[in-house]
Amino acid sequence: MNGCSGHGACIRQSCVCDVGYSGEDCSVNINTIHVNEEYRNIRVAEGKWVYYFIELQQSGNMHLIIDQSFGDVDIYIKYNSLPTRTDFTYADTTTSSRITMDIIDPTLGPWYFGFYGFSASNFTFKLTMDAMCPDFCSRHGSCAGSYCQCYTEYRGTACETRRDPLPDNVIVLGFVSQSSWNYYRYSSNTANNFIIEVNHTNSADCDIYVNTDRNPTVSEYVYRDITSGSNTKLRIDNPGSKVWFIGIYGYTQCDYRLRVFSSTQCPGGCGHGTCSQNGRCICNPGYTGPTCNVTSNVLRNGVPISNQNITEGEWRYFEFTLNTTSQLNIVLHERDTEGFVWLFVSAGGYPSLLSYDEADTSINSDIHRIKIEFESPRVGTRFYIGVYGSPFNLRSTLYDVVAWTPPF
């Protein structure tokens, strides 16, 4: 085959062309396109071709502008091989003196541009690229240029927020890039628990955060699951009648499937308690937690418990019984940190991030204090103290805690 025109090698009676050449005999020269570079005064004869090529290595949208000074050039574009007038991926065969073409989210790899002279033509062209729509529109819309056109149920620059509460037991799809969010709401209207289930591939990692009055953040939430498993179930017990705000956060880039559904099954068998009809563990005295597996320590008046250890997201519980009527004082001291530990107290049972009477969640002090004064006698009342490893707790933290009532 003519020695492959000196631009390739003949293997098994076929030419394998060098980079920059094509055709059966490697006689077709393919020029390389550089993004944002203008190519001026390109001439193509009637019935002839001029070819260009780009190896696309970065995601984005391609925009091609062609201006003709005379004649009629047609443009054919094809992925991975030279286009023809009958085999192409994109084409514009209009007679306009200015041609604009947008290729949205093109596949990475080789793209070939063929300029065909419908009549002899002189033209200038330029290829530019811009960013794709953010986060693939969260899989909740379509991309038009660099803007998301959201499906009816969603809003936001990246279609990241669902307008209406999620239906019960229906799977929805979503996508978050690293450090980005998708937001949903769920309306609970029974005493039954509900479960938030997220599935994704093993190579991805997205986390669940839940709040009660607004969208959660990585430091503002009442429930969360930041484990790395591909199937995550976060259980919300005794939700009552309210709207819950659910955030899916991309610890890494993550395609996911989300489902929210009610449940009347107790988790883990309620080791130190019994299961109620609504699927909640009723714990025996001295135990708490979703499966009644967390114990509490008794605080004696004015006697500190020292060198306690806690990590992010953990709870430790203490109980204290009043022996006077005037006030209750609780002080927690972080040994060598500030804001890594939060302090909660409740008279109605073990506190949580959602349910408590008083709290100190300051992040700029190593001392946390709660003082409660009583207008009526409260001798014998038991208070439940909760110590929580805050979202800022980057490592295991040591603390001391003490509770007392006057005249101590």
101 falls within a domain: yes
Taking only the tens place, the pLDDT of each residue in 161-204 is: 999 999 999 999 999 988 899 999 999 877 778 999 999 988 88
| CATH classification of the domain holding 185 | 2.60.120.380
Indicate the pLDDT class of residue 229, thresholds 50, 70 and 90: confident
User: Contact at 8 Å (CB) between 330 and 402?
Assistant: yes
pTM for this prediction: 0.58
Residue 380, in any domain of the structure:
yes
55 Cβ contact list (under 8 Å, min separation 6): 109, 110
407: preceding bond cis by omega (within 30 degrees): yes
Residue 21 lies in a domain: no
Domain with 66, as residue range(s), is: 33-130
Helix (H) or strand (E) holding 250: strand 241-250
The tens digit of pLDDT for each residue in 277-322 reads 777 788 887 787 777 888 888 999 999 999 999 998 889 999 998 8
Is residue 354 included in any domain, yes or no?
yes
Which residue among 239, 263, 287 closes a domain? Answer: 263
- Quick one: 150 and 249 in the same domain? yes
- C-alpha to C-alpha distance for 89 and 83, rounded to whole angstroms: 8
Residues 53 and 159 reside in one and the same domain: no
Q: Are residues 255 and 164 in the same domain?
A: yes
Rounded to an integer, what distance in angstroms lies between the CA atom of residue 121 and that of residue 70? 6
Work out the average pLDDT over 60-72. Answer: 90
Are 252 and 161 within one domain? yes
Pairing label, strands 28-32, 49-56: parallel
Cα 84 to Cα 53: distance, rounded to the nearest angstrom: 14
Question: Which residues, in sequence order, are bridge partners of residue 289?
Answer: none
Report how many domains make up the chain: 3
The 10s digit of each residue's pLDDT in 13-58 is 888 877 667 777 888 778 899 999 999 999 999 999 999 999 888 7
- Could you tell me the CATH number of the domain that includes residue 110? 2.60.120.680
pLDDT computed for residue 120 by the predictor: 95
Single-letter amino acid code for the residue at 203: S
Mean pLDDT of the chain: 88
Most confident of 84-98, 105-119, 158-172, 267-281: 158-172
Beta-bridge partner residues of 28: 22
Domain boundary among 74, 107, 130: 130
Domain shared by 164 and 99, yes or no: no
Listed range (66-75, 215-224, 388-397) with the worst mean pLDDT? 388-397
3-state secondary structure of 103: strand
Q: Are residues 113 and 140 in the same domain?
A: no
Backbone angles phi, psi at 374, to 5 degrees: -115, 140
Helix residue ranges per DSSP H, 38-103: none
Residue 324 is assigned to a structural domain of this protein: yes
**Domain edge (last residue) among 130, 153, 179:** 130
Residue 240 and residue 253 share a domain? yes
Please give the Cα distance from 168 to 260 (Å, whole number).
Answer: 6
